[in-house]
């Protein structure tokens, strides 16, 4: 099965505002809004007159970049010296 973009969603892939959602990280479609639920809760409305649709995400870009290390060539000489010790 090939990869899908965020626009190739099946009915079960997205949740609407007002629906109960399990704990996790959700992204509002058509927006950069990220929502993290610590416990089962109801997804919030958009309050702008549009229906808010959410999709569950495993990792946000911020988490991805926080866990990524710079390549050795970009690290300072002092950094490389500390890693050798």
> What tokens were used for 71?
């390549």
43 vs 22: CA distance, rounded Å: 10
Residues 35, 53: Cα–Cα separation, whole Å: 12
Q: Domain boundaries in the chain? A: 11-84
Measure the CA angle with vertex 12, ends 40 and 5; round to 5°: 110
Average pLDDT on 18-25 reads 92
User: What is the rounded CA–CA span in Å between residue 14 and residue 9?
Assistant: 7
Percent of the chain with pLDDT over 90: 31
pLDDT of residue 5: 55
**Domain 11-84 classification at class level:** mainly beta
- Kindly indicate the confidence band of residue 52, based on its pLDDT and cuts at 50, 70 and 90: very high
């Amino acid at each position: 099965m090939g990869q899908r973009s965020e626009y190739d969603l099946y009915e079960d892939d997205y949740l609407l505002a007002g629906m109960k959602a399990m704990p996790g990280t959700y992204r509002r479609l058509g927006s950069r809004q990220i929502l993290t639920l610590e416990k089962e809760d109801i997804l919030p409305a958009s309050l702008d007159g549009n229906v808010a649709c959410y999709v569950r995400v495993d990792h946000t870009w911020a988490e991805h970049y926080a866990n990524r290390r710079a390549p050795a060539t970009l690290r300072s000489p002092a950094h490389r010296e500390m890693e050798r010790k």
